């Protein structure tokens, strides 16, 4: 199954919220396996915030990595090898081997993060390949807004900032 078709089928939940959290740092794939990059996204979340399973799955790891709590959820029926989503820094609420349903609290956000403000790092992998976890989220469909013309300007509907013809 192609990954894009699979992601459209899954339409997973956000791991914190609702509403969807602020994204403090986006996914920046490294140019190589050992190069610098950001292999996930950082979501704004105060310490103690419940971390929810974004889909049905099995907790395959819940414990410390490098002195911080991490939880890994493996998603069934997502191909071979299956997709794995990882959260940290967290205090796991469930043990490895536990099957969970989407929306189940699986951890709580820990203090002491790599972000300037408290955050949850959310990663996604297939085997050794890192993927953008935001591709899994349910998002509202895009809407095209009509352009309305005014004297010397265009707007993209009520309340939108003016746009000059030619993009200037």
In a domain, 165, yes or no: no
In a domain, 103, yes or no: yes
In a domain, 67, yes or no: yes
In a domain, 158, yes or no: no
**pTM score of the predicted model:** 0.74
Residue carrying structure tokens 């410390």: 64
Number of domains in the chain: 1
In a domain, 150, yes or no: no
CATH code of the domain covering residue 126: 2.70.70.10
From first to last of the 168 residues of the chain, give the pLDDT tens digit.
Answer: 444 444 434 557 899 988 889 999 998 988 887 888 889 999 999 999 999 999 999 999 999 999 999 999 999 999 999 999 999 999 999 999 999 999 999 999 999 777 888 999 999 999 989 999 988 776 545 556 565 555 554 444 454 444 444 443
- Cα dihedral sign, 134-135-138-143: positive
In a domain, 160, yes or no: no
HSE at residue 14, side-chain half, CA atoms within 13 A, is 18
């Amino acid at each position: 199954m192609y990954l894009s078709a699979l992601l459209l089928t899954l339409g997973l939940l956000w791991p914190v919220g609702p509403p969807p959290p602020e994204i403090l740092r986006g996914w920046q794939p490294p140019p190589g396996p050992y190069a610098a990059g950001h292999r996930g996204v950082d979501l704004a979340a105060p310490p103690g915030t419940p971390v929810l399973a974004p889909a049905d799955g099995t907790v395959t790891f819940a414990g410390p990595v490098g002195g911080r709590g991490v939880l890994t959820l493996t998603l069934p029926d997502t191909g071979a090898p299956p997709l794995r989503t990882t959260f940290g820094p967290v205090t796991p609420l469930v043990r490895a081997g536990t099957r969970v349903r989407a929306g189940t609290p699986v951890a709580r956000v820990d203090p002491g993060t790599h972000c300037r403000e408290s955050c949850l790092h959310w990663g996604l992998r297939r085997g050794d390949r890192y993927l953008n976890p935001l591709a899994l989220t349910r998002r509202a469909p895009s809407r095209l807004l009509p352009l309305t013309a005014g004297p010397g300007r265009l707007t993209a509907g009520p309340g939108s900032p003016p746009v000059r013809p030619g993009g200037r």
